[in-house]
C-alpha cells in the first residue's frame, strides 16, 4: 500500500453559503465518508483547515509573506490515505462529498518515502 495526500480546494469557505441544515447534512455526509475510509483501513488522518494563514514565496533566500494566492481557490482541508495505487486513490477522492457542496477540486498526490525522514 502507498500513502497519498488529498488536498481539498474550494473557493473560500464552501460551508458559508449553506443554511445551518445544509451544513449539518454536509458534515454528516463527510462523517460517513470518513467512517467508511476508517472501516476499510484507508484513512491515516483528515482535518479541515482554518481560512486564515499565509503563503510565503521565496527565491534564493528572499522571502515575501502575504496572501498571494493567484486564484480564488484555497486549500480547506486534507485527507491522508493509503491506497494500492494512484487509481484507487483517485477513486477514493472522487467519492468525497465535498463535490456535492459546490465547486471543489481535490489534488491527489503520492507521498514520497525518504530514508531518515519519519
In this structure, is residue 115 part of a structural domain? no
In this structure, is residue 63 part of a structural domain? no
In this structure, is residue 60 part of a structural domain? no
> Which pLDDT value is given to residue 59?
79
Q: How many residues does the chain have?
A: 118
In this structure, is residue 118 part of a structural domain? no
Candidate from 6-10, 14-18, 63-67 with smallest mean pLDDT: 63-67
In this structure, is residue 74 part of a structural domain? no
State how many domains the chain has: 1
In this structure, is residue 29 part of a structural domain? yes
- Which structural domain range is residue 92 located in? 1-49+82-107
- For the chain, the 3-state helix, strand and coil shares in percent, each to the nearest 5, are 30, 35, 35
Residue 60 banded pLDDT, cuts 50, 70, 90 = confident
In this structure, is residue 65 part of a structural domain? no
Q: 5, 77, 80: which is closest to 37 by C-alpha? A: 80
Overall pTM surpassing 0.85 (yes/no): no
Amino acid at each position: 500500500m502507498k500513502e497519498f495526500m488529498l488536498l481539498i480546494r474550494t473557493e473560500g469557505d464552501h460551508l458559508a453559503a449553506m443554511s445551518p441544515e445544509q451544513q449539518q447534512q454536509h458534515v454528516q455526509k463527510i462523517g460517513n465518508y470518513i467512517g467508511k475510509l476508517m472501516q476499510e483501513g484507508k484513512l491515516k488522518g483528515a482535518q479541515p483547515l482554518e481560512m486564515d494563514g499565509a503563503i510565503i514565496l521565496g527565491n534564493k533566500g528572499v522571502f515575501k509573506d502575504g496572501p498571494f494566492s493567484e486564484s480564488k481557490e484555497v486549500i480547506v482541508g486534507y485527507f491522508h490515505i493509503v491506497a494500492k495505487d494512484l487509481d484507487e486513490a483517485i477513486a477514493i477522492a472522487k467519492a468525497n462529498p465535498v463535490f456535492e457542496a459546490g465547486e471543489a477540486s481535490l489534488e491527489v498526490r503520492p507521498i514520497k518515502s525518504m530514508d531518515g525522514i519519519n
